[in-house]
Amino acid sequence: MKSNLSYVKFDPGWSLQDIPPLPDLPVYEILRQSADRWPHKTALVCLGRNVTFAELDKLTDQLARSLTTLGVRKGDRVATMLPNCIQHTIAYFAINKAGAVAMPVNVMYKEKEIEYQLKDSACDTIIALDSFYPLVEKVRKNAPIANVILTNLKDFAEDGGDIPRLFASDKRTITGTHDFTALLAGQEASPLSVDINPDDDLSLLLYTAGTTGVSKGVMLSHKNIWAAAHPSKYIFDLTEDDVDMQVMPMFHASGYCLLQLPVLYAGGTVVLIPLFHPEDCLKLIDELKVTIIFAPPSLFIALLNHPGFPDHDLRGVRTALSCGAPLPRAVKEKWDAVTGQYLYDGYGLTETTAQGTAVLSMPLKRKPGAVGVVIGGELKVINDNGETVPRGTTGEVMFRGDGVAKGYWHKPEETEKSFTADGWLHTGDAAYLDEEDFLYFVDRYKDLIITSGYNVAPLEVENVIMRHPGVIEASVIGVPDEYKGEAVVAYVSLKGEYRGKVSGPDIIAHCRRELATFKVPRVVEFLEEMPKNAVGKVLRRQLREINQRSASGGEKQ
């Protein structure tokens, strides 16, 4: 008999295929095994260039050896400041083959953010686009960087490849740096012999966005990465015929785990997208017969609202999953209706290796409105006293499993707060579990709005606003209010044809029809575009700053 308490463990019966035991191997064996089995098959596509599994394996062996000649040793951190591109995948596997730890840097970061990450990790080697060198040069004055390796997107692009303007630059030689392609040329391609303990040795050091405080380096072991890649192959029945459109950035856990590594593990092809543009992606979906898209809601919103969307055939996309931010119900309903396919949802953290131990909708276990069910471990929902709450009761989500990170880099106190001695991770997220083991995301605890003593989940209000026909996106925050404690404020982006025609009172009236009075926004403000991070998640912190600056710039009830 199922317990009434909010606890559930992953059920292998939810998978399309039986899941073998987790491999006890270094992560780069994903590539080696696929290169042995499908040597001449295309592994990567980017900017018109194709790279086979055998070529990728050889290139990563060559770069691994070059890194060791530069002094990189087991356990060293090697930074990468690259968009999604062939060089980034080469660098990741090569760093791990050298026994070192890959440490991606957000390509949108500024000088101080990069400096903090490099100094905190004691990193002395960085692989970056040459267009980013002016930033790297500034950082070198205060951070101990011994080796700078530069590459140009044209190094692994076909002639005529459409280089995004944001990353475009002329290739040039810069004194005091190493050229990526020169390090590969003529280098021996035989594998290095490095002893890796998958349980203890790190594959990735990923820094959090720092939205709740100082950015922290999340330590992800080889085992953690396997916990994300291995089950996904079987849960979604991935094969060598699958083609993944890799939009999630590779400085994010999802850039590897959703779904690049699982697809490479299955012998499929990964299409790397350096910079998202809806028209370009729609063309690639058609031309390359994309079967898998794992991306933030903003991508699906952009595709659905692109005027050319009806002209493209998406019937071959058998698996589409929204991740990185809450999926508005209106977006899912529209995608399902227009494409005739189910838009899956998912919820994970850097600390859970994306979907290593997290929550996913699955082909055999899905439910509209729910985020999904736990994958790769255990989940429970607790109250403020640490007690597991009854099903249907909102509380804090906790995870335990092979995908849960080892902790935060050189931050024992922060690690102790979030990671319990018996393996559970505090997420800081509010949700509830139903009788069928499905999790319903409510919101970040810190984002819950308390107005007149009532709790308001911004996501619930956003979902209602998104159902207005003129709305592209909506985000809701709480702002100080002398009478209510906090007031509900909504930021809204409208479709072009509705701008100037839909007012704040119109949005408020729409909300009144579906929400309790205390949940209805008191203020509605319009923005052409929501401020987002590189993963497509709306930055509520910036909305609060906008609100403070604008004083009473919105339209009030």
d(CA 521, CA 186): 64
Q: Considering the domain boundaries, does residue 217 fall inside one?
A: no
With a cut of 80, say whether residue 449 has pLDDT above it. Answer: yes
Q: What is the pLDDT of residue 352?
A: 97
Q: Considering the domain boundaries, does residue 476 fall inside one?
A: yes
- CA-CA-CA-CA torsion sign (103, 226, 320, 358): negative
With a cut of 60, say whether residue 491 has pLDDT above it. Answer: yes
What is the overall mean pLDDT for the chain? 92
Q: What is the pLDDT of residue 159?
A: 84
Please check whether residue 207 is in contact with residue 389, taking contact to mean a CB–CB distance below 8 angstroms. no
With a cut of 80, say whether residue 448 has pLDDT above it. Answer: no
pLDDT (tens digit per residue) in 52-67: 999 999 999 999 999 9
Please check whether residue 80 is in contact with residue 92, taking contact to mean a CB–CB distance below 8 angstroms. yes
- CA-CA-CA-CA torsion sign (505, 508, 512, 516): negative
Q: Considering the domain boundaries, does residue 513 fall inside one?
A: yes
Percent of the chain that is helix, strand, coil (3-state, to 5): 30, 25, 40
d(CA 547, CA 496): 23
Using alpha carbons, select from 83, 106, 61, 34 the residue that is nearest to residue 261.
34
326 or 227: which leads in pLDDT: 227
Q: Considering the domain boundaries, does residue 192 fall inside one?
A: no
448 or 232: which leads in pLDDT: 232
Q: Considering the domain boundaries, does residue 495 fall inside one?
A: yes
pLDDT (tens digit per residue) in 406-444: 999 999 999 999 999 999 999 999 999 999 999 998 877
pLDDT (tens digit per residue) in 328-343: 888 999 999 999 999 9
Question: Is residue 293 classed as helix, strand or coil in its secondary structure?
Answer: strand
d(CA 232, CA 18): 11
pLDDT (tens digit per residue) in 181-217: 999 997 889 999 999 999 999 999 999 865 445 689 9
Q: Considering the domain boundaries, does residue 106 fall inside one?
A: no
pTM of the model: 0.85
pLDDT (tens digit per residue) in 251-292: 988 899 989 999 999 999 999 999 999 999 999 999 999 999
Question: Structurally, how many domains does the chain consist of?
Answer: 1
- CA-CA-CA-CA torsion sign (295, 330, 376, 33): negative
Long-range own/partner contacts, residues 486-489 (CB < 8 A, 24 or more apart): 486/449, 486/450, 486/451, 487/451, 487/522, 487/523, 488/449, 488/451, 488/456, 488/461, 488/519, 488/520, 488/521, 488/522, 488/523, 489/521, 489/522, 489/523, 489/524, 489/525, 489/547, 489/554
Q: What is the pLDDT of residue 212?
A: 46
Q: What is the CATH number of the domain that holds 476?
A: 3.30.300.30
With a cut of 80, say whether residue 113 has pLDDT above it. Answer: yes
d(CA 64, CA 190): 10
Domain that holds residue 499: 448-556
Q: Considering the domain boundaries, does residue 87 fall inside one?
A: no
d(CA 68, CA 525): 54
Please check whether residue 205 is in contact with residue 100, taking contact to mean a CB–CB distance below 8 angstroms. no
6: DSSP letter: S
d(CA 252, CA 272): 14
- The total of other beta-carbon atoms located within 10 Å of residue 185's CB is 9
Token pair 């939810």 is found at 14
Q: What is the pLDDT of residue 313?
A: 85
Q: Considering the domain boundaries, does residue 260 fall inside one?
A: no
d(CA 444, CA 541): 13
d(CA 224, CA 218): 11
Q: What is the pLDDT of residue 555?
A: 44
